[in-house]
Amino acid sequence: MRIGLGYDLHRLQEGRELWLGGVKIPFEAGLLGHSDGDCLLHALIDALLGALGEGDIGQHFPNDDPRWAGVSSVKLLEEILALFQERHGKIINIDAVIIAERPRLQPYFPQLKLKLAGLLGIPPQRLNLKAKTSEGLGLIGGGQAMAAWVIALVELPNK
């Protein structure tokens, strides 16, 4: 068994599409980034990389590399999942916390869980999502950013 932890934060910008967990969520602002800024998928990627002992997302997808400009983070996750498969990894469970003042994310959880479980090839009950606000405090509380924490427990063959 291995465990991996991921964290990410992106700035919110008005007029951008909001992509979270590979799902487009209707909102007046979206996450700014070299890719689509999907902080939930970026934290998930970092959690998987952590469990694999393979560094972090920035090492695999440098943000000065034009190949990853404006790309869907689903594509980035797929690249890391291919690496995970090469290593014969198996996901035991995933737990995630999304920190956002607005919009209310709970209504999108069923859709998000199906999307993420589908991408990861695990039953949705092995994936847990939680949403928190920042109680109006700081950059997240002021609606300037969103963040996510993800923890992944995986099984990897011994080597």
- Interface residues with Mg ion (CB under 5 A)? 8, 42
- Comparing CB distances to Mg ion, the nearer of 91 and 150 is 150
The distance of closest approach from Cβ of residue 139 to Mg ion in the complex, given in angstroms and rounded to an integer, is: 15
**CA-wise closest residue to 34 among 2, 72, 3, 8:** 72
Half-sphere exposure in the Cβ direction for 127 (13 Å, CA): 20
Residue 124's contacts (CB-CB under 8 Å, 6 or more residues apart) are: 113, 114, 117
- Comparing CB distances to Mg ion, the nearer of 60 and 87 is 60
- Comparing CB distances to Mg ion, the nearer of 8 and 101 is 8
Residue 15's contacts (CB-CB under 8 Å, 6 or more residues apart) are: 28, 29, 30
Taking CB atoms, the residue at the shortest distance from Mg ion is: 42
The distance of closest approach from Cβ of residue 71 to Mg ion in the complex, given in angstroms and rounded to an integer, is: 12
The distance of closest approach from Cβ of residue 42 to Mg ion in the complex, given in angstroms and rounded to an integer, is: 4
